[in-house]
Chain A
Amino acid sequence: MRSWLIVVVGAILLACNAHSERWEPRVPGPAPVTPGHGRAPSAISVGAARADLTLPPGGSTFGYAPDSRVTNGYWTRLYCRVFYFETDAGQKLAVVPCELPAMSLLLQRRVAELVAPRLHATQLMMTATHTHAGPGHFFGARQFTGVFSSRFPGFDPDVLKILSERIADAVNRAIDAKQPAKLSWHHGSEFWGLTRNRSLSAYRLNRDPYVAADPPASVREPAERAIDPSLDVLRIDRADPQHPEGTLGPIGSISLLATHPTVLRNTNQLYGGDVMGVVSRYVESRLRSESKSGCETDPLHGVINTNAGDLVPIWSTGDVAEALEVGERMGERVWSVHPDVEAGTRSVVLDSRYMEEEVTGARFAENGVDYRMCSYGELGAGAARGSSEHHSYISGILNMFSTSPHANYLAQDCQAPKKPLLGLISSITHAHGAFPTRLPFAVATIGDTLLTFVPMEMTVTAGYHARRRIENVLQRFDGAPSHVLIAGLANEYVEYVATADEYQLQDYEGSSTLFGPSSGRYVTNRVGLLAQSLYDRSAADSLRAWGVVLGAANAIEFGYGPPIDTGITNKSDDVHRQLLGTCRMPNVVADLPQFCMYWFDGAPADVAIDRAPWIGARVASAPEIDAHDIDDRGLAFVTRIHTQLDEGWVWSTLFSPRAATWNALASRPFSIVSGGSPPVASSPISKDHLPAVCTMRQARLCTTGTETDDWTGLVPARPKRPVPYTRGGRINSN
C-alpha cells in the first residue's frame, strides 16, 4: 500500500515538472574575421571524420508525418561525414552531410557550441540526405516534434545530446586530422534514367521551367526531361609532400545530386540511410580499394541533396532489397564520374558568407515589385495526402469523400490559394515556435564551385531559378566560380519551396511551401545577394536595408514540443546474453544463402550498438574481403529487436552476403557474432557446414520482424543461471 502511495505521489510530482531539461543554446555572435583575401587561391588542408549516429531502436523515424513508424532495428548505420577545409590564408569551413531526415538549427547550434572556438556556427554547414528512416525527436519546432509529426511524437533531449556530441566529436577529429590535400571537381549530367519528377502537373504550370538539356538518345518523352541530371563530385586526396603532383590516397569525396533518397515506404521500421546510404557505402568501398595498402584509412563519401523537392528515385516495391539495387546503380554512376587522382589542385579559393533572417514578414523586391513573406508558416490541405509516390494513410480516408482540389482560388490572404490543412483550427500552427522562422542561408566557394546552402527542399525549377540568379551575378566578377550548386536541407528545415507557378496548384510541394507563394522569389533574392556579397560590398548594404546583417548568428527561441523519453538511455540492471538459434533461410537464390541468428540480449539502451561494428561475421583471416561487407557498417545485415521475455530481449539479425563476399567467405569457417562480453556467436558456418534450414517461424523472425507471443520452439527452457553481461567489445579483428 505504501509503495503504491509513493508511486502516486511521485507521479503527481513528475507531472508538475513535466518539461524535460532543455538546453538553451548560447548566441554564437558574429562570424570571425578571416585574415587574408578570400579570392586568392591558397594551399588547402582537409580533414575528414565519421560520426556514427545510429541510435538504439525505440525512437521514431521522421519524414512521413503521422505515418513515420517507430523503429525496431536498423539495416544500415546512420552517419554524418565531416569534411573540414582550411586554407593557409585562414579560411575555415566544415561541410557535414548527414544521413538524417532533416537538419535542425537547434542541433547545428549545439554542435557549434561544442566545437567552439575551433569553428564558428557560421562556418559549419550541416546537411541532411532526407532519408525518412532516420530519427526524429531533435527539432526545435513544435510541428516537427508534436502532434502528427510521427507515430511517437515528442522532443527527447537525450537524442539531441547524443547526436550533437557525436557530431561535435567528429568535427574535432576532422580538424585534428587535417592535412595538405588535393581537390578536384567533376561537373556533369550523368544522372539520367535514375529519377523522375513526381509532380508533373505542378511542374507543367511553370512559365519558366527547368528543362534538362542534352538528354541521351534513350530519353524520348518530355516528362523524362523534367528532372535534374546534374552530377557533381568533389574528390579529396592527401597531397604527397614529396611530390607536388602526387597523392597518398583518398580522404574522401562529396557528391551532389538531385533526388529524394526515399525508396523505403512509410511502413518501414528500420533505421537506415535509404538509397543515399547505399551510394555512400558503394563509393567508400571503391575508395578503400584505392587506398594505399598498409594504410589504415577510412575514406568517406558524403552525399548532398540539391534541388530535389519534386524528384524521386524510380522504384516499384519499396523494400530494402530494392533500395539496395537502386542505390547501387546510383553509386556506380557516382563512382564512374569520380575525377582522376592526378586531376586535383592543391590551392583553391575557399570563402563563405552566412546570413540568418526572420522569414515571417520579410520584405524584398524583384523586378521593381515589392514582396512580403507571410507572417506565419502553414501547411496546406494538399500535404495531407502525402506525395504522389508515398501516399499517407489518411489519403485513403480522404479519397472516399472527395478528390477535389486542395486550393481555394477565392481566398485573398497571403497564403492564397492555399487551403489550410487544419481548417478552422489551423491558427494553432501560427504561433511562434510552431515552425522554424529564423532561416540560415550560406554560400561557400570551394575552387571553381559555389555551394548555396538553403534550409529547404527546392523543386527542380525553384532551384534552377536560384542557381541562375547566382550565375548571372557571378558573371560580373573576374575569378568568380563558374559552377553553382544548391545544397538543400542545410542547417535548418522548413519543408519545401515551390515556384509561385507550382504553388498555384497546391499539390504536395506547393502545399508544403510554408510561407506563401513568394517563397521561391525570396530564396532567389537572398541567395543572389549573398553570393554577390562575396565580391561586392553593396550586396551587404542591400541586405542590411532589409534588416539582415551578414555573418551574424543570433538568438533563437526554439519551440520544443511535448517532452518524451524514447528510452535510448534507459539501462537495465541485469542483462542476459544467450544464443537462441542460427539457421539458413529456406529460399536460396543463385546459390547465395542468407543466415538468420537470434539471441537474448539487453534492452535497446544496453547493447553496444554505438560501437561499430556490433554485428558481423567473424572470420580468422580474410584480407581480400572488405570488412564492411561482413559487418553492420555495410549493407549485409538487418538487425531487429522483438520482444522482452523473462530471460531478456530477443534480437535477430539476417546476414545476406553478396556473391563476391560469399565466394570469398564460403571456403573458410566463420561465425555470426554480436559484440559484447560475453560475445554471442553462432557455430562455425561454411559452405560445407551450413546450419539447418530455418523453420517458417524462424524465417519470419528474421525477415519481417513479425511479432509473436508464442515463443515455443524458438526459445529454449530457462537456463539455471543468467550469464552476466558487460558492454563493449568489437566483433572482428579483420
Chain B
Amino acid sequence: MMPIEPPDLALFAALALLLSGCSTSLGIAGAKAVSGSRANQVGLRTMALMEVPVLDTRANLTAGLSASVLERTAPESSAWGEWRLGSLLGLSQMPRPNEFRLGYEAFLSAGLARYQLATAPRVGSAFGLLAGAPIRLGRQLPTWRADELIALQFYLVPSVGIEVLAQDRAEVVWGLAIRGAFWSSAIP
C-alpha cells in the first residue's frame, strides 16, 4: 500500500475542493401534510451539496445533506420542536455565469424526522423527492469572462418536494434559499 504523504493529501484536498463544486444554502422551508393528520410547519433549512462531474452530461451527480428546523403552525402552533435531517443524492445543473440563468436539480432524500403526532412527538424515518430550480444571481457573462479556475457564485433556489414520514403521513415540502457555490470553469 502506497503511503499517503501530506503533500499528496494537500493536492487531493485541493483537487477535491475544485472537483466537488461545494455549495451551501440557507433559507426558509415549510411542509404541509397531505395524508394522515393535518399539519403545517414552517422554518429554516440549510443544505450542503457536493457536485461530482463523473457523468458525460450537463447535470452533475450531486450528493449532500439537508437539515431543517420547523415550527408547527397548524393545527395549533407549537415550539420549534420539529426537524428534518436527510442525505441527498441526485442530479444538479447549476448555471454558470455564461449560461442561461435557470438550472434544475432533483434529489432523492433519506433521513430522519422529528414530528408531532396527535399528542406526542415522534422520531422516524423520512424518505422523499426534492426538485429545485437554481436561479443564478448576477448578470450573464460571455465565456471569456467566465473562465475562472475557482470562483463563488450565488443562486436563489426555490424547491418543492414530497416526503413520507415513517408510516404516519406524507407531506409536501417547499423551500426558498440563497445558495453560495464554489465552482471552477475547469470542471464541466
Contact = CB atoms under 8 A, between A and B. Distances in A.
B135 to A, nearest CB: 10
B129 interface: no
A647 to B, nearest CB: 16
A692 interface: no
A70 B147 contact: yes
8 contacts: A7-B102, A8-B102, A66-B149, A66-B186, A149-B186, A381-B11, A404-B7, A563-B56
Interface stretch (A12-20, A100-108, A205-213, A452-460): A12-20
Closest 4 CB pairs of A and B: A402-B7, A151-B147, A66-B186, A72-B144
A147 B187 contact: yes
Contacts of B37: none
B138 interface: no
B58 A423 contact: no
Nearest to A408: B2
Q: Most chain-B CB neighbours within 10 Å: which of A8, A18, A142, A563?
A: A18
Given A393-B149, A402-B6, A269 B12 contact: no
Given A11-B102, A15-B58, A562-B58, A641 B142 contact: yes
A7 B6 CA distance: 48
Given A381-B11, A423-B11, A560-B56, A147 B143 contact: no
A153 B188 contact: yes
Interface in B1-49: 2, 4-8, 10-12, 14-15, 19
B57 A18 contact: yes
Nearest to A65: B186
B186 A19 contact: no
* Chain B contact patch, size range: 35 or more
Given A401-B7, A408-B2, 17 more contacts: A8-B102, A15-B58, A15-B91, A15-B93, A58-B144, A60-B147, A70-B143, A70-B147, A151-B149, A151-B186, A152-B147, A381-B8, A401-B10, A410-B2, A560-B56, A564-B188, A644-B142
Interface string A140-156: 00100011111111100
A152 B143 contact: yes
A59 B143 CA distance: 7
A561 interface: yes
A423 B142 contact: no
B17 to A, nearest CB: 11
Contacts of A381: 8, 11
* Chain A contact patch, size range: 35 or more
A645 to B, nearest CB: 12
B59 interface: yes
A524 to B, nearest CB: 31
Nearest to A403: B7
A253 B91 CA distance: 53
A643 B8 CA distance: 41
A58 B142 CA distance: 7
Nearest to A649: B142
A150 B133 contact: no
B2 A398 contact: no
Interface of A: 7-8, 11-12, 15, 18-19, 57-60, 66-67, 69-72, 142, 146-154, 269, 381, 384, 393-394, 397-398, 401-402, 404, 408, 410-411, 419, 422-424, 428, 560-564, 566-567, 641, 643-644, 707
Contacts of A423: 4, 8, 11-12
B53 A394 contact: no
Given A8-B133, A147-B19, A269 B144 contact: yes
B4 to A, nearest CB: 8
A71 B2 CA distance: 41
B19 A384 contact: no
B186 A153 contact: yes
A11 B102 CA distance: 8
Contacts of A72: 142, 144-145
B10 A562 contact: no
B2 A411 contact: yes
A408 B184 CA distance: 30
Contacts of B187: 147-148, 153
Given A397-B14, A641-B142, A561 B147 contact: no
B123 to A, nearest CB: 35
A411 B2 CA distance: 8
B186 A150 contact: yes
B185 interface: yes
Q: Most chain-A CB neighbours within 10 Å: which of B5, B19, B144, B184?
A: B144
Contacts of B4: 423
A677 B11 CA distance: 53
Interface string B131-145: 001000000001111
Nearest to B8: A423
Nearest to B96: A152
B14 A394 contact: yes
A598 B6 CA distance: 52
B143 A566 contact: yes
